[in-house]
Amino acid sequence: MMQENRSVGDWRKEYEHICESRNVSTSDYGGYAYDAMWTYAYALDKLLKQNNSHIASLHSPKTTA
């Protein structure tokens, strides 16, 4: 099960449907992009829970470290 409480197969079907409706081909890297976005979201969530003032200085050396 994925973060959204659905199976990878369900995600894949929806991804294929969206690509088809937009007349674009699916990418072998679609799943990697999906995982990368979740990784970034979890990291950002953890950072902001640690100290929500980090959002003001998101690109500072201290925050990125």
Q: Is residue 42 part of a domain?
A: yes
Q: Is residue 54 part of a domain?
A: yes
Angle at alpha carbon of residue 31, lines to 29 and 32, rounded to 5°: 65
How far apart are alpha carbons 39 and 14 in whole angstroms?
20
pLDDT tens digits for range 9-51: 999 999 999 999 999 999 999 999 999 999 999 998 998 898 8
Of 7, 34, 40, 36, nearest to 19 by C-alpha is 34
Of 37, 36, 65, nearest to 50 by C-alpha is 65
How far apart are alpha carbons 38 and 61 in whole angstroms?
23
Q: Is residue 3 part of a domain?
A: no
Q: Is residue 28 part of a domain?
A: yes
pTM: 0.70
Q: Is residue 1 part of a domain?
A: no
Determine the structural domain holding residue 49 and report its residue range: 8-64
In the chain, the number of structural domains is 1
